[in-house]
Amino acid sequence: MELIKPNINLDFVGNRKYAYILSGSLILLTIVFLIVRGGPNFGIDFAGGILVQVKFNKETSTGQVRNALESASIENTTVQDFSTEEGSEYLVRIEQEGVDVTEFKDRIQTAFKKTFGEGAFEVRRVEMVGPKVGKDLRQKALFAVFYAILFIAIYISGRFELKWLMSIIMAGALLVAVYLASLINISVVWLIVIALIVTLGLCWVLRLRYALGAVVALIHDVIITVGAFSFFNKEITLPIVAALLTIIGYSLNDTIIVFDRIRENLRKGRRTDFSKTINSSINETLSRTILTSGTTLVVVVSLFILGGGVIHDFAFALLVGIVVGTYSSIYVASPILLALPAADEKGGMVSKRKR
């Protein structure tokens, strides 16, 4: 069976303008949403707070749960509906410092006992993260994203352009930049922004175009996924950061397969336009791209629908990330190669042909 005809030749590179417009507006929308919502919606993992998951035996509405809490004068809580066809289930969350967990849990429990009766509900999960730990976890998560991007940039520039020396120089420059930035005691978010700008700048100056394409694509994917979270007002928790890192891995996986093909076609040394080589490489791998993205999407959709509430947002992040990651490897990572001529474009090609 074949989905894609072998001799297909869609003009991906030619249409890249539209893709840039689409990507640009999605990123812009993300920024707008983040500004409107006042930054990412961090869950208690990062912001600190208490979360209690309660399951009721009988059908219970959000309003009833709210009323029960209000009647016990428990304020500043958010109640999230977690219900499935199996029963009513709610997440009660309070983002407040200095609240005693045991006390808060007791208060909720007494409030529910009063309203719904003894044994009408079950506390299924309690999470409390103190502000200190929340801050630590946030730092750790951001550093994880930072190091992932750093190592990947190094690997790609080393592997694809055989410029290990340059990638080591880049790593050194990056570490120096980050060290200098950390001296002036800025937040990790800015540290990462600076690191990313330095990474992209170095890729540009050192003409590491494959690394540039890959890093731009994965930043693109992470930003848009964060934007989707902000749009649906979903919380960013530790597992979501794990999902973002997985998206980084996945997006690259996809990108590298196209890059490998581009390199291979370049090595064949046909005297064609670089943009044509890119386009035909995308087309040659298209069948694989669709099939693999398809199977991955199938399992993630199944996780999203059947996996249950606890894993729901995690699956959502993967879902968005895989769609965006597949798109970006075709429309973002590859066309960006055109933006930058390789440092040894002529020399490299000639010496290879002589061989």
Partner 1 sequence: MKGKLGWRAILVLAVLVASVVYLVPSISGNLPLWWSNVLPKDKVQLGLDLQGGMHLILEVESEKAVETQLGIFADDIKRALREERVWIAGDKVQTSAGAMELVLKNEEDIEKLKEFLEKNYPEFSIEETRKDDSGVVVTLAMSADEQKRIRQFATSQALETIRNRVDQFGVSEPDIRPQGEDRLLIQLPGISDTDRALKLIGKTALLEFKLVDDMGDLPAAEKGDVPPGDELLYEVRENRETGRVTKTPVLVERRSLLTGQYVSDARVQIDNQFNEPYVTLKFNAKGARLFERVTGENVKRRLAIILDGVVNSAPVIQEKIPGGTARITGNFTMEEARDLAIVLRAGALPAPVKVLEERTVGPSLGKDSIRKGFISMIVGGLVVILVMAVYYQIGGLIADAALLLNIVLIMAALAAFGATLTLPGMAGIILTIGMAVDANVLIFERIREETRLGKTPRAAVEAGFGRALVTIIDSNVTTLIAALVLFQFGTGPVKGFAVTLSIGIVASVFTAVFVSRLVFDYLLLRVRVKRIPV
Angle at 214 between CA 191 and CA 137, to 5 degrees: 35
CA-atom Rg of the chain in angstroms: 25
DSSP 74: -
When binding is defined by CB under 8 A, the residue of 8, 175, 180, 291 that contacts partner 1 is 291
Return the number of the residue (141 or 170) whose C-beta is nearest partner 1.
141
When binding is defined by CB under 8 A, the residue of 301, 323, 340, 342 that contacts partner 1 is 301
**Least CB distance from residue 36 to partner 1, whole Å?**
29
Q: Is 1 in the site for partner 1 (CB under 8 A)?
A: yes
Q: Which residues pair with 92 in a beta bridge?
A: 52, 79
**Least CB distance from residue 96 to partner 1, whole Å?**
15
Binding segment for partner 1 among 26-34, 63-71, 188-196, 257-265 (CB under 8 A)? 257-265
Residues 313-352 touching partner 1, rule: CB under 8 A, are 314-315, 318
Residue ranges of the alpha helices (H) in the chain? 16-36, 44-47, 62-71, 101-116, 131-161, 164-183, 188-205, 209-231, 238-268, 274-306, 309-328, 334-336, 345-354
When binding is defined by CB under 8 A, the residue of 178, 181, 257, 340 that contacts partner 1 is 257
**Pattern of binders to partner 1 over 147-186, x per CB under 8 A?**
xx--xx--xx--x---------------------------
When binding is defined by CB under 8 A, the residue of 74, 200, 238, 342 that contacts partner 1 is 238
- Half-sphere exposure (Cβ direction) of 59: Cα atoms closer than 13 Å: 2
Neighbours of 70 (CB within 10 A): 12
When binding is defined by CB under 8 A, the residue of 11, 264, 273, 344 that contacts partner 1 is 264
User: Could you give the CA distance from residue 159 to residue 21 in angstroms, rounded to a whole number?
Assistant: 31
**Least CB distance from residue 198 to partner 1, whole Å?**
19
Return the number of the residue (127 or 345) whose C-beta is nearest partner 1.
127
Burial 313-352 (b: 16+ CB within 10 A, else e): bbbbbbbbbbbbbbbbbbbbbbbbbeebebeeeeeeeeee
Return the number of the residue (16 or 138) whose C-beta is nearest partner 1.
138
Those residues whose C-beta lies under 8 Å from the C-beta of residue 268, and which sit 6 or more positions away, are: none
Residues 38-57 touching partner 1, rule: CB under 8 A, are 53, 55
**Least CB distance from residue 42 to partner 1, whole Å?**
15
**Least CB distance from residue 88 to partner 1, whole Å?**
14
Q: Is 298 in the site for partner 1 (CB under 8 A)?
A: yes
Q: Is 201 in the site for partner 1 (CB under 8 A)?
A: no
Pull the structure tokens for residue 144: 């994880």
Q: Is 99 in the site for partner 1 (CB under 8 A)?
A: no
